[in-house]
Structures are given as C-alpha cells and as structure tokens.
Amino acid sequence: MFLEKFDEFLTPKRTKYLLLFSIILFLVIYPLMGYAFLLSENPGDVMSSQLSFSAEYMRAYYKGIGNLEYYRLGETLDYGFMISYGSLIVALALILARKFEESSKMRQSGYFIAILGIAAAGLDAVENMFILLMLTDPSGFLAMWALANSTFALIKWILLFIAIGWALVAVILKILKK
C-alpha cells in the first residue's frame, strides 16, 4: 500500500530529522512573517479575510492595510511557514502512529493524517497564490479570485482541524493505555 511505502521512506530517524527541521524552520520563518505583517499595519482579521468568499470584503480589507508591500512580503514568507507546519504534521503523525500496533486503525490513519498535512500546506500555497494575484490589483481583481482563495482556505482549515483532532485522540489513547 502507498501509505506504508511513505512510512518506509520516512524511517523513524528521518522522521525525527523532519521534526527538527520543521521546528527550526518555524522558529526562523514565523517571526519574520509576523514582523512583515506587523509592518504592513494590517488592521483586519485574518480568519475573516480567508473565509470571506467576497471580493467586496477583500477589496475593503486590502484598502485598510497601511503598507501592501510588507503585506505581500508576509504572504510570500508564509510559503516557508507552510513548509514548516506541513512537515511538522507529517512528522508528528508518523511518530504518533508508530506508537500503535502495526495493523491498528490508529497506525493506518496516522499515515493518512501525514498525507493530510502535505495536502493542507499545498492548499494553503494555492490560497496564497490567489492572495498574491489579488494584490496585483487590490481594488479591481477578479471576483472569482476571492471565491477561490476562500474555498482553498476553507478546505485547508478543515484538513488542519482533522489533523489536530487526530493527534489529540492519539495522545489521549496512548495516555489511557498506560
């Protein structure tokens, strides 16, 4: 099965390196991204903008940002953040899954959750592509770009909540088994 091949490629040792890589990348990229967004003087609510499904809302949102160049920089740095959280989900899902018996549903679902981490980061990348497209003409971009942006964001958030929920269940099950 493909998921088991994925597990074989990311051996326990490689998975630990991936976890370390994701944490280091997070510690480097997140402050830089946050600082760029701070400098952008973005007064808006990120969740509302990601899930607005509205070109009018996004045009008003971009109008309220003090410095769009810093905002664009923050959105560009977000690609590094996606790599960090995507690789973190993969590593944690595999580490947690390996704590269960080989044929168990939790182990098998852990492989699937690792794939969801990659998918969530990929969807986030497409979402950001639409943000960057909208920023090329913040007051006159195509309305469908806002709809596409929010659609990819919604699916990304669903996958992230599934991954987080699975990890919490996995930890609770391991604690209860002790």
What residue spans define the domains of the chain?
Answer: 2-177
Give the chain's residues under pLDDT 50: none
Nearest to 29 by CA among 87, 68, 90: 87
**First CA to last CA distance, the chain:** 30
| pLDDT value of position 3 | 67
Length of the chain equals: 178
| pLDDT value of position 147 | 98
Q: Is 127 in contact with 52 (CB distance < 8 Å)?
A: no
pLDDT in tens, 20-51: 999 999 999 999 999 999 999 998 788 899 99
pTM (global) more than 0.75: yes
Distance CA 98, CA 12 (A): 9
